[in-house]
Amino acid sequence: MQKIPILLTFLVVVVAVDARASLLTNGSFETTTPSVPAGSFVNFLPGSTGITGWTVVGLTGTEVSIVNAFSQNGISFSAEDGSNWLDLTGDGTNNDTEGVTQTIATNPGDQYSLSFYVGNVFNPTGIFGTTSTVDVSENGSSLGPFENSCTTCTSSLTWELFTTTFVATNSSTTLTFLNGDPANDNSNGLDNVSLVDNGPVGAVPEPTSLMLVSSGLVLLGLAGTRRRVPRSR
């Protein structure tokens, strides 16, 4: 009877150790000026700071769009997290210079983990293309293109999680997310972007974290020990 609560305690401990707040502002693009009505989208031009925490980049004549539960041509476009998501292709401009950027205070020598979701629909005979590629850079250095190439996502925007790491070299780091889709592709989703500090490279985990993990392992061991003790008759 003790197994389930002890296992739950262990899981709570592990989650508590790994629960770190993202350093990015508005990583799910929920806050914008103006706000985006449900079932619609709003375009943001280069230089705009209307997406809280972010600055839109791109050539003149391009834009990005914040989308809120939009549907078109029998395809539904819903967010991975919350209500809004960012369409890096904008409203049909499809240029590889359009995107968003955000600068964050960082500690030189610390390793950072960056995670984000890329949304794609497979629409080979329509206007939404077949893949979604996001080009990510850190202070101008490429962290690589990240491509969602699902082929079963024919009726709804489907999200794929990507993660990468980098070591900060400056007291501030600028992250940039650019559209990597071709000109005939009108959908490239980005959502739920998160950045966490893993601490100095090669550092020993904090004593508090070690203590919590150790406690969880001890509790798990006790659960196994109690199960092996035969019942008295």
Residue 127 lies in a domain: yes
DSSP string, 15-30: HHHH----SSSSTT--
Domain that holds residue 130: 22-200
Residues 8-67 have pLDDT tens digits of 444 444 444 446 899 999 999 999 999 999 999 999 999 999 999 999 999 999 999 999
Beta strands in 106-169, from DSSP E residues, in sequence order? 110-120, 132-138, 141-148, 158-167
Residues 80-136 have pLDDT tens digits of 999 999 999 999 888 889 999 999 999 999 999 999 999 999 999 999 999 999 999
Return the HEC string of 78-107: CCCCCCEEEECCCCCCCCCCCEEEEEEECC
Task: Please give the tally of structural domains in the chain.
Answer: 1
Residues 141-189 have pLDDT tens digits of 999 999 999 999 999 999 999 999 999 999 999 999 999 999 999 999 9
CATH code, domain with 188: 2.60.120.260
In the prediction, which pLDDT does 1 show? Answer: 47
Residue 168 lies in a domain: yes
Residue 4 lies in a domain: no
